[in-house]
């Protein structure tokens, strides 16, 4: 990455992003506890029983007016440049996950995804970029079950028939993916907000009422690394089983104990440390998403020359 001579503002005096208190179902927080959480800048996030991220309470709004102004006035060529790199990162990380974890040889699929990632980085516009992403997603999810163990009572073959599907997820694998994505987007939303972004104005996902578009954008490159790796882990390690799911009215959702198991595994994944591919020091995945959000901020403010996605080898 080429940087300017000065140190980017968003990489000075970095601190860990605030933790988030997660509330599921009908649980509540007392006013005294809420005041203490807000004074410590700890967001409180609410989820439905089905795992949907329904809302968040936090303290005072972000004070970084310059960043929000840069976000609102970003030129189309800048947002396209960011979106290209995010989708490139998503495809490359999915390719790596497939190459490392598949039970069968995936040389052809891995090569195809590598070519698609290169094309995504050079896409001439959003329609082309979304088309390349769609092709890569079809290859990836068509082979997702090849990364799952056969020694499980979860009917993973149903995912082969349904493909990636949601609202409602029709099978246990889709239910796990949806829940893991919700957890990831929740953390990205709180991190972006803490840094000073408007999480609801994205560069790739279109803004829509109640949709944290920028969090969904930044989630793209982290989906394989965090959410999809988490699903592989909880199934292959036997942390969830068929008894943890309830199927009715054409949909499938995690039961209470299943959600607890997934949340525990998610927190382990977020605490896992890796070598940062750009800066070279060790970071947890929780820290990595904050660094990535700050890198995006630095690009929008003109402090670095281009946005670099988070890509593992």
What class does CATH assign to 9-300?
mainly alpha
Mean pLDDT across the chain: 86
Percent of the chain with pLDDT over 70: 89
Q: What digits encode the pLDDT tens for the residues 20-49?
A: 777 776 777 888 887 777 777 777 877 776
Which band of pLDDT confidence, cut at 50, 70 and 90, is reported for residue 52? low
Which band of pLDDT confidence, cut at 50, 70 and 90, is reported for residue 3? very low
Q: What digits encode the pLDDT tens for the residues 286-309?
A: 999 999 999 999 999 999 999 999
pLDDT of residue 124: 93
C-alpha pair distances (Å), 145 with each of 35, 93, 201: 45, 17, 34
Q: Mean per-residue pLDDT for 237-262?
A: 89
φ, ψ of residue 97 to 5 degrees: the values are -60, -40
Percent of the chain with pLDDT over 90: 55
Q: Mean per-residue pLDDT for 99-103?
A: 87
Residue 13 has pLDDT above 60, yes or no: no
Cα angle 220-19-221, degrees, rounded to a multiple of 5: 10
pLDDT of residue 202: 92
Q: Mean per-residue pLDDT for 132-153?
A: 91
pLDDT of residue 49: 65
Does residue 75 or residue 13 have the better pLDDT? 75
Residue 153 has pLDDT above 60, yes or no: yes
The Cα–Cα gap between 123 and 85 comes to 10
pLDDT of residue 216: 95
Q: Domain residue spans in the chain?
A: 9-300
Burial tier of 208 (Cβ tally within 10 Å: 0-12, 13-18, 19+): exposed
């Amino acid at each position: 990455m080429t940087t300017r001579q000065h140190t980017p503002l968003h990489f000075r005096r970095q601190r860990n992003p605030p933790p988030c208190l997660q509330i599921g179902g009908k649980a509540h927080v007392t006013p005294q506890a809420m005041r203490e959480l807000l004074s410590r800048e700890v967001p409180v996030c609410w989820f439905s029983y089905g795992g949907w991220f329904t809302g968040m309470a936090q303290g005072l709004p972000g004070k970084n007016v310059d960043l929000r102004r840069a976000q609102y006035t970003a030129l189309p060529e800048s947002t396209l440049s960011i979106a290209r790199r995010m989708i490139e990162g998503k495809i490359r990380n999915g390719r790596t996950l497939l190459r490392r974890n598949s039970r069968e040889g995936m040389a052809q699929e891995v090569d195809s995804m590598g070519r698609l990632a290169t094309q995504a980085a050079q896409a001439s516009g959003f329609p082309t970029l979304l088309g390349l992403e769609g092709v890569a997603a079809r290859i990836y999810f068509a082979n997702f079950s090849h990364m799952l163990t056969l020694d499980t009572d979860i009917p993973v073959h149903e995912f082969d028939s349904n493909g990636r599907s949601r609202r409602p997820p029709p099978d246990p694998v889709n239910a796990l993916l949806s829940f893991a994505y919700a957890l990831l987007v929740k953390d990205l939303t709180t991190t972006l907000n803490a840094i000073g972004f408007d999480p609801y104005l994205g560069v790739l996902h279109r803004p829509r009422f109640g949709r944290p578009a920028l969090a969904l954008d930044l989630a793209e490159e982290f989906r394989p690394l965090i959410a999809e790796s988490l699903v592989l882990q909880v199934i292959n390690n036997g942390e969830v089983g068929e008894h943890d799911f309830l199927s009715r009215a054409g949909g499938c959702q995690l039961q209470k104990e299943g959600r607890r198991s997934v949340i525990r595994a998610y927190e382990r994944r977020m605490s896992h440390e890796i070598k940062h591919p750009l800066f070279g020091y060790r970071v947890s995945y929780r820290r990595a998403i904050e660094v990535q959000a700050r890198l995006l901020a630095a690009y929008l403010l003109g402090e670095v020359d281009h946005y670099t996605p988070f890509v593992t080898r």
